[in-house]
Amino acid sequence: MNHVENNKTRWQRLWQWLKKPLLLGIPIGVVLLFLGAGSFQGVMVLSNQNAFCFSCHLTMDTIVQEYQASSHYGDGIDIPATCADCHVPHPFLEKMKVKIVAIADIYHMMAGTVTKENFESLRPAMAEGVWEVMKANDSSTCRNCHQGDNFVLEQQPQRARLNHQQMASRGETCIDCHQGLTHNRIVEK
């Protein structure tokens, strides 16, 4: 074998050796992608469950009890609205913003800056923040459920029907009238 053929054979062997890890890397990459996406989706689903929200709020304050006493909790006949139905937007980017802010809330609870003892004094400002977000997005989480068959104006009492018909012309959204529907209305002192 001459020198040129010998070099050609070496390059072919080297290329064959390099191709194997590259080919192996593709299925490994696909598996890792699916595992990562599945894990991410799993965290999103679990963190949208009432049990996740209750894990802090049940021992911290009265929010869970207020929710359980509301019409949104359900009565065994109607489908209940979960915490996430009201507090977590459906569009992906908005949902991610809420989840990032929630990480800060968890941090403050773990760091002890929000405790059972000071929660009620912090609650009015936190409620105002939620209401501002709901006003800014035209109560989009309310409208995810309260539409179509779940929001028939003709079936509402006259006063509610008239107010709902005039909301847009008055520049109002759901939360303008429905503060305190699920959680006790808190007024800052």
Dump pLDDT digits (tens) for 22-53.
667 777 888 999 999 999 999 999 999 999 98
**pLDDT category of residue 17 using cuts at 50, 70 and 90:** low
3-state secondary structure the chain: CCHHHHHHHHHHHHHHHHHHHHHHHHHHHHHHHHHHHHHHHHHHHHCCCHHHHHHHHHHHCCHHHHHHCCHHHCCCCCCCCCHHHHHCCCCHHHHHHHHHHHHHHHHHHHHCCCCCCCHHHHHHHHHHHHHHHHHHCCCHHHHHHCCHHHCCHHHCCHHHHHHHHHCHHHCCCHHHHCCCCCCCCCCCC
Q: What is the arithmetic mean of pLDDT over 93-107?
A: 89
Q: What is the pLDDT of residue 35?
A: 93
pLDDT tens, residue by residue, 115-134 = 888 888 888 888 888 899 99
Based on the fold, state whether residues 110 and 92 are members of the same structural domain. yes
Instruction: Examine the domain organization and report whether 111 and 139 are in the same domain.
Output: yes
pTM: 0.73
pLDDT above 70 (res 156): yes
Domain count within the chain? 2
Both 19 and 77 in one domain: the answer is no
